[in-house]
Structure formats: structure tokens, C-alpha cells
Structure 1
Amino acid sequence: MTYLVFICGHAGTGKTTLARRLIAPLMTAAGSAFCLLDKDTLYGGYSAAAMGLLTNDPNDRDSPLFLQHLRDPEYRGLIDTARDNLALGIGALVVAPLSREVRERKLFDRAWLGVGDDVEIRVVWVSTLEETARQRILERGDPNDAYKLAHWDEYRQRRFVPSAESSVGLLKFDNTAPDTQDYDALLARIVGA
């Protein structure tokens, strides 16, 4: 069995930290190899170069220009890379906000993902309080977050809490202050133990 696991949520919720903590236990529990595909790692350099040319701001990841022209191709490339690994029998742990795709239920759409019934899909929605996320963003000091912080009221309007309809099938994880039992419970839900 091959797994496609999405770790989704807004900036500052701890998606990457969670994925890095889960990947080794996930490989053990699933009994198979996984690759970690983090959108920022895969596309950060490319997006910095493109936005530097387009706007003279290589750290822009939230302006309307970025969201309209680069966001979707980045996500498509991320999913295509996951699919290539799945075809080789390697599970994929995909880290990206993917909030629009969660809201539109695309991450459960096998045709949109391009995967067959032999792939187990898990979508983890990572959350934390808005102020906690904002504090984490401030503390990490990533220049890519400058637009978010400078336009926080606009950015926070894009933050959403999955509704009852968009929550179906989501594995929700509160990453405010999880303990070992919380991580173990999430791992069990991912592998269906």
C-alpha cells in the first residue's frame, strides 16, 4: 500500500516541523519508504528568482501577482512530483498550505491528483490559534513572510477554518502544544492503525 499524505494549513501552524517529526515513524508504521516534499524547499529558489524579476521583491509569496500567476503551477508541480514517487512505490508526505484545495476538496479527488485506487490518501489539516501563528511567523524571521505581516488584515481574511462540508475526511491536528500522545494518535489515524 502506498500513501499520499498531505500536511496542510496556514503559515505559522508548524506544518514542516510536524512533517519532519512524523516521517521516520510514518515509514516504520507503513513499512515503506516516503519522500518529504515541502513546497518551500522545492520551489522557494525558483519563486524567489521569478518574483525578483517580476516585482524586484524575491521574497513576495502573498501578493496578488504571485497568487494569480505562480501559486497554482507550484502546487501542480508539487502534486506531479508526488505522483511520480508514488508510481515508483514511494509514499509521499506533501507539505504546503493547500487551503484552497482543501476547501474545494481537490485533495480527495483521485482524478485531479492523478492517482489510482491503490494509493491511500490522507489529508491532515494543521491548525493553531491565529495569534500563535502570527507570533511564530514573527519569530522565524523568514523574509517570505514580510508581505503577510505587512498586510496581516488582508492575509487573515484568507485564513479559514474548514467547514463541516470541507472537513469530511480531514485529519485535524491542533499544533498549538501537542504532546507525544497527540503525535502517536495522528500517526495511527494516518496509517489506519
Structure 2
Amino acid sequence: MSRLVFICGHAGTGKTTLARKLIGPLMQATGSPFCLLDKDTLYGRYSAAAMHMLTGDANDRDSPLFLDHLREPEYRGLVDTARDNLELGVSALVVAPLSREVRERRLFDRAWLGIGEDVSVRVVWVQVSEETAHQRIMARANPNDAYKLAHWDEYRQRRFVPSGDMCNDLLMFDNTAPGAADHDVLLARILGEPQAASATVHPLPV
């Protein structure tokens, strides 16, 4: 069985770091190859060139222009690339914010994903507090975050914690300071195995 695993969440939550920790154990546990598809790696240079041409700001990833015209093609291409790998028998670990898709539950819509019932789908929502995310974004000093930091009050309105029906089948993971046991529990949940009795994935306080 091929596996499609999404690692989603807002900026500064540590999605890519978490995905890199998981991909080796996932391949070892399943005995199957995985590809790592990070949106920023796949489309970062292209989007930088496009935004530089359109606005003169190659690092803009959060303005209305980007969100209205480039966001959807990036995400659609990311999912299409994952599907191409799945059709070749290569499982995919996809890293991207995907907040809108989580909110609208598109990642559980097999028709939207273009996959059949033979693919196992898991969606992980990675979260930390707003303060922690803000600190991490400032510390990493990525030029692509400049718009977020300059318009933080605007950006923070897009941040949300999944709740209600949105959480059905969503694997919530607090990435504030996880230990090895927390990663093991998450791995078991992705694989569909029972959680270890001695470890839990602690939710953030609301």
C-alpha cells in the first residue's frame, strides 16, 4: 500500500524539521520508499522569480497578490507531484502549510487528491503557540518571512487551531519541545498502529 502523509501547519511550527525526522523511520517501518516533497523547495525559486517580475519583491509569499494568484497553482502542483510518485509505487511525505485545505478538509477528499482507496492518507497538523512561532520565524531570518513579520497583525488573523469537525482524522502534534517518545507516538499514529500507553501527543492549551 502506498502512503500519502501531509505535514501541515502555520509558519514557524517546525514542519520541515519534523518531516525529516519522520521519513527515515517511515521507510524503515513500511519497507517502502518515500519521497519528501517540500513546497518551498519545489516552488521557492520559481515563485521568487515570478514575484520579483510582478512586484520587485522576490521574497513576498504572503501579500494578497501572491495568495490570490500563485498560492493555488503551487499547492495543486505539489499534490499532482505526490500523485505521480504514488502511481509509481513511491509513498509521499508532503510538507506545506495547507491551512486552507485543512480547514476545508480537502486533504481527506480522494477525488480532489486524485487518488484511489489503495492509498493510505494521513494528515498531521503541527502546532506551537503564536509566541513560539513568532520567535522561531525571527530567529531563522528567512527573507520569505519579511512580509509576515512586517504585517504580523494581518498575518496572525490567518492562524487558527483546528477544532470541531475539522479535527476528524487529523493528527494533532505539539511541536514545542517534543521528545523521542512523542515522535514514536506520532509515527505509530501515522502507521495506524495503537498508541503506546506510556506516551501521548500533548495538545496545546486553548
Q: Distance in 1 between matches of 2:29 and 2:102?
A: 25
Q: Distance in 2 between matches of 1:168 and 1:31?
A: 28
Q: Distance in 2 between matches of 1:78 and 1:53?
A: 22
**How does 1:103-114 map onto structure 2 within 5 Å?**
103-114=103-114
Residue of structure 2 in register with 1:33 after alignment: 33
Runs of 4+ in 1 over 3 A off after TM superposition: none
1:11 alignment partner, SS class: coil
Q: Distance in 2 between matches of 1:164 and 1:27?
A: 32
Residue of structure 1 in register with 2:80 after alignment: 80
Q: Report how far residue 30 of structure 1 moved.
A: 1.5
Residue of structure 2 in register with 1:191 after alignment: 191
**How does 1:1-193 map onto structure 2 within 5 Å?**
1-193=1-193
Q: Report how far residue 166 of structure 1 moved.
A: 0.4
Q: Distance in 2 between matches of 1:88 and 1:128?
A: 35
2:186 alignment partner, SS class: helix
Q: Distance in 1 between matches of 2:160 and 2:31?
A: 35
Q: Distance in 2 between matches of 1:131 and 1:55?
A: 30
Q: Report how far residue 163 of structure 1 moved.
A: 1.5
Alignment RMSD:
0.4
TM-score by length of 1: 0.99
Q: Report how far residue 8 of structure 1 moved.
A: 0.1
Q: Distance in 2 between matches of 1:189 and 1:159?
A: 25
Q: Report how far residue 120 of structure 1 moved.
A: 0.2
Which digits, 9 at most, give the CA deviation of each residue in 1:145-191, with x for residues without a partner? Answer: 00000000000000011121101000000000000000000000001
Residue of structure 1 in register with 2:197 after alignment: none
Amino acid at match of 2:173: F
Which digits, 9 at most, give the CA deviation of each residue in 1:63-112, with x for residues without a partner? Answer: 00000000000000000000000000000000000000000000000000
1:116 alignment partner, SS class: coil
Amino acid at match of 1:180: A
Q: Please, which moves more after superposition, 11-20 or 157-166?
A: 157-166
List alignment gaps of at least 5 residues for structure 1.
none
- What is the aligned-residue identity percentage? 77
Amino acid at match of 1:51: M
List alignment gaps of at least 5 residues for structure 2.
194-206
TM-score by length of 2: 0.93
Amino acid at match of 1:124: V
Q: Distance in 1 between matches of 2:62 and 2:112?
A: 24
Q: Report how far residue 29 of structure 1 moved.
A: 1.0
